[in-house]
Amino acid sequence: MAPIEQAIYASRRTDHATGYHLVVASEGVTDDDAHALSVWGPSHDSLVEASDEAESINFHPLPSGSYCISRTRRTGTEYSGRGDEVYTHCLVVPVEVLARFSNNPFALVRAVIADGRIEIREHTPRCLPGFALRGKASPVDRHLLEELVSELGREKMSSLIDESLQYDPLAIVTTRDARRLMEGLLNCLPLGHRPSFSFATGLKPSPRRPFRVQCLPKELKNLRQVLRHFESAVSDMASPQKPAGDGGWGHVVTSAIVEKRCYMLSEELRRSCDKHAEAHLQELTARLRQRLNETGDTRSDDQQENSFRKRRQGVSRVERCRSDSRRTRKRLEPSRPMLRGDAPHIASTTRAEPAASVDEDIYADPAQQLGQDRPELIEQLELLDDTVFEAIAGKPSALERLKTLWPQTLSALGMRNLEESREQYLRHARAVWDECAISDGVRNSEQSLAALSVISLLLDDCPK
């Protein structure tokens, strides 16, 4: 796992410099990256807000190909005594690590903060270590997007998305939480576009820091002069009205949010994770619009989450049953005599479990792990779940669909990826079969037959 390197930019007196400079960096930070961090580093009076709690999350590329994600805050008084120190903790993040967090710097920062890695250091440390960061993030935080669309309105949100794609640089003028607004905007962008969106959520504009997007408060002193000086396009979220989008990407994304079908947006963004061309954005827009207009899939985000939760719970139950079964067999096994070293080879009934790899730790859910490469199959798995349970419940049309769907899914995924789900289905069908027996021993014939039909289908079609 590639490590994240660290650096601190602040106003300190050190052996090699005084004033604002890169006071310490981990060994993995290259000279070119260290120079870039010094150039982009904010100094005295760089934060737009004057409060002690003011902070800015910043993101920009580095010469090495990695990215800097930094957090800027005020600390105590500068060593020179001229005012509050502006302290910036920089993370040098490899491309592959950022990709694991869906190219969302905010999600990565939260993971680092939770790991206790970003903190204000009153005394300059002699060294900073690089560190590995586990975890991942989904492409879309649908609860955040639903809140923003509700607060801003559909038209403003749609226009913000389209303007961010059209203009560079862009100043977002707002009276709201800039960090939350910027993260919501990133959630609406294709994964391949996100790394090109350098941004700051709370720094004053400066020619040293040519961010693509900057969030500025409506009440900033001399705001108009600042915007004219830096020749930024302006997206004013504080204006009373905003014109509706023209049916482009922003319009389609907000439609998915309003219709509570962000799972479709997430699936399409995963499919486009390595593409950035404008032509691809048009293709992505057309594909998502088509999916939203189709009448075959009418699920909402809540139904999707409930179905996924049911699947996770089912896998957990299967794992517990497997563990109990192994312990039971071990207790019932008769003791075996000691075998000679030259005895014939005996086929072992147990196999050693392989050590969990880093990726297995990260992607604990098999369905999520599969979805990283082939997200379209997640939808097929969920459809299979619903169809199996409906068929076991005795719905004739579901059983007919299952006769086609089960072989198709088995062919696409293979038994290795479906074995846990199949065991869950069989266990549920067997439980229904047992529950159909009434006190006098007579079974409910219709439901018993449905459960038996599903069991037969799942067993007959599996490879021998």
CA 194 – CA 197 distance, rounded (Å): 5
Same structural domain, 311 and 238: no
Same structural domain, 435 and 306: yes
Cis ω on the peptide bond leading into residue 169 (within 30° of 0)? yes
Tell me, yes or no, whether 335 lies in a domain. no
Contact by Cβ (8 Å): 189, 106: no
Give the pLDDT of the chain (464 residues) as one tens digit per residue: 799 999 999 988 887 888 899 999 999 999 999 999 999 999 988 999 988 889 999 999 999 999 999 999 988 777 666 778 899 999 999 999 999 999 999 999 999 988 888 777 767 778 899 999 988 999 999 999 999 999 999 999 999 999 999 999 999 999 999 999 999 999 999 999 999 999 999 999 999 999 999 999 988 888 888 888 888 899 999 777 666 556 799 999 999 999 999 999 998 888 776 656 667 888 899 999 999 988 666 666 666 555 545 444 444 444 444 444 444 434 434 444 433 333 333 333 333 333 333 333 333 444 444 544 455 566 677 788 888 888 888 888 888 889 988 888 888 788 877 887 888 888 888 877 776 654 344 455 677 888 888 888 888 755 44
CA 188 – CA 64 distance, rounded (Å): 27
Same structural domain, 163 and 104: no
Structure tokens at 48: 């737009």
Same structural domain, 32 and 89: yes
Same structural domain, 277 and 249: yes
Pairing of strands 55-61, 20-25: unpaired
Tell me, yes or no, whether 233 lies in a domain. yes
User: Which residue range forms the structural domain that includes residue 187?
Assistant: 142-293
Same structural domain, 164 and 277: yes
Same structural domain, 150 and 250: yes
Tell me, yes or no, whether 346 lies in a domain. no
Same structural domain, 311 and 414: yes
Same structural domain, 285 and 311: no
Contacts of 115 (CB under 8 A, 6+ apart): 131, 133
The number of distinct structural domains making up the chain is: 3
Same structural domain, 210 and 304: no
